[in-house]
Structure 1
Amino acid sequence: MHAGDAPQVTGGGPFVWYAAYGTNLSTVRLGCYLSGGRPSGAERRYDGCRDPSPPRDVRPVELRGRLTFAGESSVWGGGMAFFTSDAGGVVHARAYLLRLEQLGDLVAQEVRQPVGADLVLAPDRRPTRHGLSRTYDVLLDVGELDGHRMLTLTGSSVPPAHAPSASYVRTMLEGLADGFGLDADARVAYLASADGVALRWTVPTLRRMLPA
């Protein structure tokens, strides 16, 4: 995408839904991106957004695609979650209604660039390559909810499969416990079916990591 494809967003920008399918399924974890803090189990403290306001709305959603764990997370260790939209299946996500500026600051923290980078979204809903990272380098448009675009962060290419760390898994299991209508067995089965998980975790070990 070239800079001339869409105007620069200033003054906070429009509202967009950020659809999180990895550790940001946890509202506590997402809060560290917005207002600053260090999530439990993470190796890093986040600075927060220029606008630390909480999401204007939060919804559980289902995305058509595939969940894969791959690469190496410098924050959690082990693989990171990636979303692939051209694969069959259902990916559970939590949609947060944010200002576009907030999403830009979230992306900047995710890829360890200075907070303050504004996003420019392609007007025709093509994938937006924000250019800040070689890992999570794309914002995908995954539909619309209540008149606002819904976007998710992923990679234009997925690294080799790699199992997530225990802290990553626990954070996702905690997030999936809230609002998705999934019992313990369903949460474990969902993660166990994701690409890369079986490289380290069995169903019994995942079950032992469920929050008490």
Structure 2
Amino acid sequence: MTTHAHSEGASRTMNAVHTVEAARIDGAEPELIWYTSYGSNMHLDRLASYIAGGAPPGAARRYPGCRDRRPPVRSVPVELQGRLYFATESPVWTGGRGFYDPAASGRTRARAHLVTAQQFSDIAAQEMYREPGSDFDLAEVLRSGRDELGPGRYETLICSGVLERIPVLTFTAPWGVREVEWVKPSAAYVKYLAAGMSESGAWDERSIADYLAECPGAAGHWSADQIVVLLAST
């Protein structure tokens, strides 16, 4: 089932936002995973550095890439139950970085990339500052919806459900939105997240600005109007 998300009077046809079904998977681990990014990897150019290897534009860090360097089979816009918020300090973007609290009230906009389970393990390892090359055991996250692989910022795996009978997985911090100090995200980071959402074709510029301006960490520091001006800048 899908729903269309766009404001009245949108000047272009918007892609459907896909609905994630609340379900769990027991038994054999699937070959395919919807790796679901709510942050900078919504942008396909940045995701390509995690898959094929290399340094994204403006990044100081070079990623080794996945063992399987094929691009995602598909990428689709989705909304997850939970909340995007900004906390800690990003060494790449400066300012707060994006985290996802699946237990918080609200909806999180994201982009689901259809990759192999091996690719998901390698992408997650790089986000965890680990060396890719080993397959994660996904049994616990698929069964219970959560698996803390370590105390690090992106070492907690989350399964939000299934899409087309394929599990929807992401990773975040072990803490919740109310358990950490919120930090204002930088202009460059806000603009990059907006570009990834816009690239999906599901949300228009004003909708994206309204959404980001309401996220904890950005709220009170970035207004929707300021974000619209930011998106119009070169």
CA RMSD of aligned residues (A): 2.2
Secondary structure at the aligned position of 1:149 is classed as: strand
SS state of the match for residue 75, structure 1?
coil
In the alignment, what sits opposite 1:209? 230
**Distance change (3 Å), C-alpha of 1:180 and 1:89:** farther
Q: Match of 1:130, as an amino acid?
A: L
Equivalent of residue 34 in structure 1, options 36, 51, 56: 51
Q: Identify the residue that residue 165 of structure 1 maps to in structure 2.
A: 186
CA distance in 1, matches of 2:217, 2:126: 25
Given candidates 108, 114, 126, the residue that maps to 1:97 is 114
Question: 1:53-202 to 2 correspondence within 5 Å?
Answer: 53-121=70-138, 122=140, 123-131=142-150, 134-158=152-176, 159-198=180-219, 200-202=221-223
SS of corresponding position for 1:177 = helix
Maintained 8 Å contact 2:77/2:202: no
Q: Aligned equivalents of 2:93 and 2:125: distance in 1?
A: 18
When normalised by structure 1's length, the TM-score is: 0.87
Aligned partners of 2:46, 2:121: CA distance in 1, in Å?
Answer: 17
How far is 1:157 from its partner?
A: 0.6
Taking the aligned partners of 2:164 and 2:27, their CA distance within structure 1 comes to: 23
Query: Structure 1 residue 8: deviation in Å?
Result: 11
* Match of residue 3 from structure 1: none
CA contact (8 A) 1:176 1:187 kept: yes
Percent identical among aligned pairs is 36
**Is the CA contact (8 Å cut-off) linking 1:77 and 1:165 kept in structure 2?**
yes
> Counterpart of 2:60?
43
Q: Which amino acid aligns with 2:134?
A: A
> When the two structures are aligned, how many residues end up with a matched partner?
203
SS of the counterpart of 1:209?
Answer: helix
What is the deviation of 1:26?
A: 0.6
- What is the deviation of 1:39? 1.9
Deviations 1:121-148 (A, max 9, x none): 11523412223x5211211110101121
Q: Supply the distance in 2 between the matched residues of 1:46 and 1:155 (Cα, whole angstroms).
A: 21
CA contact (8 A) 2:111 2:200 kept: no
Task: Give the letter aligned to residue 136 of structure 1.
Answer: Y
| Contact 1:8–1:118 under 8 Å retained in 2 | no
Task: Give the gaps of 5 or more residues in structure 1.
Answer: 1-5
For structure 2, the 5+ residue unaligned runs are 1-25
Q: Aligned with 1:210: secondary structure?
A: helix
